[in-house]
Structures are given as structure tokens and as C-alpha cells.
Amino acid sequence: MDEAQRAYVFALKALTRRDHGEAELRRKMTGRGFPTDSVDDIIDRLKRSGYLDDAKFARRWAESAVRNGKGYGFRLRFELSRRGIAEEIASEVAEQIRDEYDEEEIITSLVARKFPGFVQQGADARQKSRVVGYLQRRGFSLAAILQAFRHMQG
């Protein structure tokens, strides 16, 4: 098997294990020592065949991040950009997620999962601050957090 075939097989195996963005796959392949020309050709071939699609990767990754409480809003855009996804794709995906997933519901379930027994009315300022900070670092807006807190009580 020649170098180009080995590189193509490597790329296909990587994509069968899990989705990758173009930049991520390119980094993996060049990190393995495959020539840049071969990597470019293989990336183009995978994109034409539909095996490599940054928009689909971004969407799947963002949905998983929301379900697992790892991000929402600006945090999704940041993490997608960090993975080499173009800013316009990252913004579009974050907007789609915002339209399809209720921020308040996600906050409520995340608080129940990560902070079992947390009751906003009985919590001291330090506990509230800790929960709010946790949620804000994951991209949730303060308005949505406070709204969720109000609804958790009633």
C-alpha cells in the first residue's frame, strides 16, 4: 500500500470511530507525518463524497454538548471555533440550538443533575454564586439562569 492509500485508510478509520471537523482531521493526519499534498487531496475527496462535513460535525457536536450540559450560547461558538469550525458555521449552529432547545429547561435539568438538593430559596449567597458561575461558564445567560431559579421554586 502506498503512502496516499495509507493516508486515506487512516482518515476513513478516524471518521468511523467518530465525527471530525476538517481542521481536526487535517491536524491528526499531518501529526502522523502524512505529506501535506496528500492530506489536502484526501480532505477534498472526503468532502466531495460527503464523509467530511464541518456543518454536520458542528451540529452533532453542539447537540451532544447541550445534552451533556457542556455548553450553550457563546460557549458552543467558542468550543466549535476551537475545533477549527468556521465562525459563520459555529454561529449558525449556536443559533439553531438556541431555537430548538429551551435554555431554561436545560438549566433546570443541569442544576438537578450537578447540584442535587440545591434549593435556590434556602441557599446562601456562596452556594447561589457557585451555581450561577458554573452555569455562566457554560454559556447560559444570567437572565435565563435567574428565570429558571424562579420557576424551580414554584
pLDDT digits (tens, 9 = 90+) for 10-35: 999 999 999 999 999 999 999 999 99
pLDDT given for residue 2 in this prediction: 87
The DSSP secondary structure of 12-31, one letter per residue, reads HHHHHHS---HHHHHHHHHH
Torsion region of 84: left, alpha or beta (phi above 0 gives left; psi -120 to 50 gives alpha): left
pLDDT digits (tens, 9 = 90+) for 40-80: 999 999 999 999 999 999 999 999 999 988 999 999 999 99
The yes/no answer on whether domain 3-49 falls in CATH 1.10.3470 is no
Q: Max alpha carbon distance in the chain (Å)?
A: 67
Domain boundaries, the chain: 3-49, 54-100, 103-153
Can you give the pTM of this predicted structure? 0.83
